[in-house]
Structure 1
């Protein structure tokens, strides 16, 4: 009588271990591919200003980046071997006790990888790419929980990504800007031209975040989870087409990230077995304190993005994907002073009708050219980049800095601040909570002292 539930529990545990190992492998593949495509960002082989998150270079040293990357590579390679063993070797055993003894190795390697990834993020805010932040949170799950509970928490995190991404787009600014761009990319895929009225365009753009919100709701409940999974596949396949070479022709890492969601969602939500992990793993020896810390960290990770609505959490850690409500920064440099800038920077300066005597430096195009990655879309970071340009290239007071605050959710209106002298801009930058001083600028100040 007792054999049937015991066998069911063992089968569930084996399936959880297999799914967890496969998801771990997919996460590592995502990490290696994304770092490979954006390699200048990670090895500092670029001239784009580097802005540490805390500014404590005496404690978190940028010159140790290569060391932490080597640590990431070694830990990741060890995990790939461990995952392969789990997938192809470990589950042929009837006795799971030996396999549980290997959990400590799996947890330890993921913990080391998370520490290394966190340090390279701290030394340069631009490395807090949305996909990198997701991998860091997954790593916390892999390093603190047993397989079944790992899958439960990653499901919750995935649902939260869809929810927060949807809410971040439910505003007037998305309807007026990024939403229109996505719609144009969609229309570009059609074999014929179609003219849409303004009201119809607005209605279609409104459907984009509503689909994400519907996916989040469907994935929350057991009876509707399969439908949420199917709708998520449609969403990401559509995004790959819209953002791909036949649409908006975005960079490869964006397409890789959407492909990852296709695979991970099929692993997380396509199956029908979503029972709690406690039954299958209650007899496993494990660190309760480690598990408790993991639960606290993940509970914070699930709730903290909501503070982005009050301008506390950054856009990407708050899953504001393609959101356009955040504050904007523009930097204009007098055309006579462009000769002070390197050629690689000048080619990203453009004349505008708003400031005919100046040229606007496109900070995002410059970022893509230098690092193969987008600039961190945070006003703090972009202000620091603009300040670094002025300080490093001796532009002094021959510039115009325009700061457009967070857009009103219902009207899209923004408050603007215009600054045209260095001391005022430095005081403005000091008003942010986190660091706005570039690594080069700090070095220059230390030499001056």
Structure 2
């Protein structure tokens, strides 16, 4: 593999220097984000770790510690040597490989920011700096585009969009009553429409500086709405928005430099590989539109239309749960015989990360809960289909806990069994 050009040759302009700083920020923010979600990367006893395939369920936790230590060492080395180092290409690719191995051992680690940084590591390691910058810009633009598209539906308006609207109005001192919300809830579409506007402004060179301002304002607004003054989302979500604020400035706030001159055959080959990776990332979200892809790798961020799995447990069985598990059962939400288990709350409080969206992983978490607590005869699972793009309608399917294994084999291609350590833990 050929080496990355030295800083004196490559950082000839403010744009080049900004991209070198951006690469340092990628390594820094990956370290920070892994830090604020550290239980997700080292602990598979409090919350289930679900591998991609069931053959990996017996892998011991030592493997996770080795991978985490390797990732930290790689990222710290990148910071010490700098992105312009001759070893940087190898280090970036190594960081992506380690992240991919982490994903295989636990689907929950496939957080959207981890996916983005794994892709960026490959692009930084394979493509020459200026080509890497262009590909990175396309990845960033695709996130804005698909994220906005995933929220342009009635489900977002009726659920998370309404939460955004109520929270934003309360922050600016205008509280919305339920009657007012029913009338004005369609204003929630302003959030994805503004995101789509930022995408268009960033896409066009002549309006790119305005787009930087729009993107920065959007991320400031999200930090306010999702932060401690608003919905109090996880630190990972807030940190990623800070990264996007800085990314908008460093990637889109500077003019495009001239092309690299005279790339060698090896450089062209590696660049083609990076372009293929980028193309796959750009096209994958179209699979989610037809029901074949997961929401997060399709950049379905804060989307409400995705399929869901709900776990309900009888009150009698809930009273007999161990105290740590009982904390996630909502016995006050209704007077029904079966009460909901808050799997999302379980994820946030034990891993620091939101639960991986969609039916499959939430089903896997519900399956782990049932197996660990031995409550197969006392629970009900409700699977809701994704909502319609034009109507907020879903199909629901309910079955008992003793049908979990059969339903998992029938419904999902990927694994829904937890790592062995979760079931062995007291």
TM-score with structure 2 setting the length: 0.91
- In the alignment, the residues of structure 2 paired with residue 58 and residue 254 of structure 1 have an alpha-carbon distance, to the nearest angstrom, of 28
Q: In the alignment, is residue 294 of structure 1 matched against residue 277 of structure 2?
A: no
Query: Counterpart of 2:306?
Result: 326
**How many pairs align?**
415
Cα distance, 1:232–1:200 mapped onto 2, change above 3 Å: farther
User: Quick check: 2:57–2:419 contact (8 Å CA) kept in 1?
Assistant: no
- Residue 171 of structure 2 corresponds to residue 172 of structure 1: no
Structure 2 partner of 1:133: 115
Please give the secondary structure, in 2, of the residue aligned with 1:249: coil
**Counterpart in 2 of 1:151?**
133
- How many Å separate the matches in 1 of 2:320 and 2:96? 41
Please name the residue that 2:294 is paired with. 314
1:78 paired residue number: 77
Structure 1 vs Structure 2 CA RMSD: 2.4
2:279 counterpart SS class: helix
The answer as to whether partners of 1:13 and 1:148 remain within 8 angstroms in 2 is no
**Separation (CA, whole Å) in 2 of partners of 1:221 and 1:281:** 25
In the TM superposition, residue 276 of structure 1 has moved relative to its aligned partner by 5.3
Aligned residue number for residue 222 of structure 2? 239
- Indicate if the aligned counterparts of 1:397 and 1:421 stay in contact, CA closer than 8 A: yes
SS at match of 2:398: strand
Alpha-carbon spacing, 1:288–1:397, altered in 2? closer, same or farther (3 Å): same
1:107 maps to which residue?
89
Write the mapping of 1:287-436 to structure 2, written as runs, cut at 5 A.
Answer: 287-351=267-331, 356-422=336-402, 424-430=403-409, 431-436=411-416
Report the secondary structure of 1:349's partner residue: coil
Report the counterpart of residue 4 of structure 2 in structure 1: none
Corresponding residue to 1:181 among 140, 163, 166: 163
Match in the other structure for 1:437: 417
User: Contact conserved, 1:225 with 1:269, CA < 8 A, in 2?
Assistant: yes
Distance in 2 between residues matched to 1:425 and 1:57, nearest whole Å: 20
Greater Cα shift, 57-66 or 373-382? 57-66
**Counterpart position of 1:97:** none
Are the aligned partners of 1:61 and 1:123 in contact in 2 as well (CA < 8 Å)? no
- Correspondence for 1:19: 18
Distance (whole Å) between structure 1 residues aligned to residue 322 and residue 218 of structure 2:
42
- The aligned runs of 1:21-100 (5 Å cut-off) are 21-44=20-43, 46-57=45-56, 63-83=62-82, 86=84
Contact 1:49 1:439 in 2 (8 A): yes
State the shift of 1:200 in Å. Answer: 5.3
Shift of 1:286: 4.3
Deviation at 1:11, TM superposition (A): 7.7
For 1:401, what is the secondary structure of its paired residue?
A: strand
User: Deviations along 1:146-183, whole A, 9 cap, x unmatched?
Assistant: 11011101111111000000110011100100000011
Counterpart for residue 3 of structure 2? none
Q: Who is 1:265 aligned against? A: 248
Does the C-alpha gap of structure 1 residues 244 and 442 become closer, same or farther in structure 2, counting only changes over 3 Å? closer
CA deviations 1:90-111 (Å, max 9, x no partner) are xxxxxxxxxxxx44x1100011
Distance 2:333 2:99 in 1: 43
- How far residue 409 of structure 1 moved from its aligned partner, in angstroms, is 1.4
- What residue in structure 1 maps to residue 5 of structure 2? none
Matched residue of 1:329: which SS? strand
* Contact kept in structure 1, 2:372 and 2:423, CA below 8 Å: no
Counterpart contact for 1:392–1:441, Cα < 8 Å: no
